[in-house]
A and B are shown apart, each in its own frame.
Chain A
Amino acid sequence: MGKYSEDPLWADIEPLPTDEGGPNPLAAIAYSEEYEETMSYMRAVMAANEYSDRVLELTEDLIDMNPAHYTVWLYRAKTLFHLDKDLREELEWLNETALEHQKNYQIWHHRNLIVDRLDDCEGETEFVEQMFVKDAKNYHVWSYRQWLVKRFGLWETEELEFTERMLREDVRNNSAWNHRWYIVNGREAEGVKGEWDEGLRKRELDFAKNAVGKTPQNQSPWNYLRAIVRTAGVPLASLKEFAEQYASLDRPDSVRSSFALDLLADIFAEEEGGKDKAGKALDLLAAKYDPIRKNYWAYRKSQLGLESSTPEAVVAA
């Protein structure tokens, strides 16, 4: 006896249980009776291609228990469009569902479909920020945010401020750094240049340098700096003076950032006769500042044609 079998509204439906085909099925789950019943009604309805209000409720129940059901989401979308439902109400239901199932991606795919059809993103960026309160690095949510920006042309509005807000919360949030990169450089297809614009470049360099100043041992702004100069075609050496504030071969005991040392190794390697200095920086990383990657630092040396040295030898020298 269950919710559907006892409900006169569903009396006309003959449930269709799943057939496992034989003994010893793989990855069989101890389903609740509720799930088994909901699934058998869902299957019966889909087999009959019924698109009705009661089906919407059924899909809600099922999705709540199994949000990864790939065809039920599509079936729900088709039912919504068939009945010409108010899609704003659908978004409200989705808000609750998304907050409950943080890691599910079908929810975001469905939201995409609904908002695209609504042709209006009112309230969406606010909802996204609400999701970030729970997990500021949720991959699906960041992907959705990018889609919103592109679909509704939000480039010029408050996206930069938004990334600044997110980075004030956590300057190590690499997702927020990545989003900033997208906002600055993602419009190439529309003919808007990113880091090639000098004013823009200065603004972004200052922003990243400021973040390094607060957290020298934070890889995100270092990666961002490197990407700016590479994309703009500016020599890597333009970052030398800045990097030397955080790491110097003259003061090997007071390196403040392993990422600065890594960058300096690359800068030295490009200098005439700088390979030995690059090797020293890499040795220092292997021996002292980033020993977990000692094999990687040795590989970097070998890429420069330098012999690798054992950490013990470096320290003794």
Chain B
Amino acid sequence: MAILSENGASEEPRLDKARHIKYWTRCLKTLLPHQYTSNDSNRLYLAFFIISALDLLGVLESVPSKEEREDHINWIYHCQHPDGGFRMWPGTDFGVRASKDNAMWDPANIPATYFALASLLLLKDDFSRVRRRGCLEWLPRMQRGDGSFGETCVNGVVEGGMDPRFGYCATGIRFILRGTMSGPLEIEGRSVGDIDVDSFVKCVQLAEAYDGGIADLGFHEPHAGYTFCSLGALAFIDRLEVGDHAHSKRSVATAPTNPSAVISWLAYRQTELTDPDAGIDSEFTAPDDTTDNDPSQKPGVGKIAKIQQKAVTPAHQTAEHSVGISIFDLLVDGAGMSGRTNKVADTCYGFWVGASLHLMKQPTLYDHAAMRRYMLGKTQHPVLGGFGKFPGDVPDLLHGYLGLAALGLSGCEGVKVLEGGMCLSREARERLPLLWKRWDVHDEE
């Protein structure tokens, strides 16, 4: 129940918007610290986080000038592959030394392409320089016989894991560039084929696990990130089964096969476990009867007793994780989301799980207030802005962005409403039909 002020009244932790803007402005305008070198080959997704965070905070058109935004758009196009699709960064482009013989080492990349297109949408680009036909011709070649998608295609071999992150990005590219139109499409006088939607659906069905979650492959452990990617991809191709009556009579293949099991697994992800170092072996004890069981007490009073209890028994923390820990950690009650059964909360799963429940049309099945308290009271960085992975962690781009995105799902003052399935603002998503109209494609729904 939040922070106790001196007079005993409680106060919810707030979004320190100015600090978040400062954090993202720094990410946009200065070089990222050298620790990001290991993510050099992921730069387009880092770029998406920066652009989209500034959009969610409502400052994308004021922090960078019009000229700077134009430069950013040009950089994204600089990453475009000559045959369509995008590279993650200019690092594979051989420039003047590019030739037919080394072209195989400079492939377009599926996630890079999704994040490039999404960033262009956020920057209000007109898509006139997107090699749309080339990109849509390349897309079906990125699908394997089993229905899964890869990351790149080198020398005719689809490379990269078989996990649904690539399926999500591939179907997202298809959604942006051709809506939900299925089958061959006439573009620039040529007939462009479609991906095999049915075999992709089958892939997701096979990855549904015994406890209701979805993994990357059959029999792997279910994971909230893969669950989101699978559900999001199904939504992009209009094959998501949410378990309501409207969908159950459809004749086409849909997934998941057991929507209520997925919903239950997702609901179970919310957890009050926050300390990555603590053993989670403390045995279950029923809440103290004198506080939670007495209806004469005002709501929330029981929680205060719990907070005081927490204050006298500090959580286990290694020295490393104790550094910079916010004072809120001991005072603020909250519950974030875990990515797998019996794991502790982590900022990014606030998005993966929250958005999954939104996609399943059950956005109220988690405690939004407890989630906001976890993020705003525990993982929001009190000095640098942004969000860390765990309480007290320094912020990073992924958690900083997905934290904002999660808040955008929960209705938080200062953050734009999020379109969960695309992980960007609803405002940006609503610009898509204008592009579709120009290309004469539409959302079939």
Could you tell me which A residues sit within 8 Å of B by CB distance? 16, 18-32, 35, 39, 43-44, 46-49, 65-71, 74-75, 101, 105, 109, 137, 139, 142-143, 146, 172-175, 178, 181-182, 185-186, 215-220, 223-224, 226-227, 231, 253-258, 288-289, 291-296, 299, 303, 312, 315-316
Contacts and interface: CB of A to CB of B under 8 A. Distances in A.
A26 B284 contact: no
A137 B343 contact: yes
Interface string B395-422: 0010000000000000000000000000
B211 A23 contact: no
Interface of B: 27-28, 31-34, 36-44, 46-47, 50-51, 64, 68, 71-72, 74-76, 78, 88-95, 97-99, 101-102, 105-107, 109, 119, 151-152, 154, 159-161, 209-211, 216-217, 219-223, 260, 264, 267-268, 270-272, 280-281, 283-284, 286-287, 289, 292-295, 299, 335, 340-343, 362, 364-367, 370, 397
Contacts of A253: 286, 289
Contacts, number: 232
B217 to A, nearest CB: 7
A31 B35 CA distance: 9
B220 A68 contact: no
Contacts of A186: 219
A39 B91 contact: yes
15 contacts: A18-B91, A21-B74, A22-B75, A26-B43, A27-B46, A27-B47, A27-B397, A47-B105, A48-B102, A174-B340, A216-B284, A218-B342, A256-B284, A292-B271, A296-B267
Contacts of B293: 288, 315
A16 B94 CA distance: 8
A136 to B, nearest CB: 11
A71 B41 CA distance: 9
B95 A142 contact: no
Given A20-B90, A21-B74, A186-B219, A109 B161 contact: yes
A90 to B, nearest CB: 18
B144 to A, nearest CB: 14
Counting chain B CB atoms within 10 Å of each CB, the highest count among A21, A71, A216 belongs to: A71
A300 to B, nearest CB: 8
Nearest to A230: B210
Given A68-B42, A223-B211, A316-B295, A299 B365 contact: yes
Contact of B38 (A47, A49, A65, A289): A65
B286 A254 contact: yes
A24 B365 contact: no
Q: Which 4 pairs show the lowest CB-CB distances between chains A and B?
A: A217-B284, A21-B78, A24-B71, A26-B47
Contact of B32 (A30, A75, A174, A226): A30
Nearest to A20: B90
B10 to A, nearest CB: 17
Nearest to B93: A19
B34 A31 contact: yes
Given A109-B161, A227-B210, A219 B37 contact: no
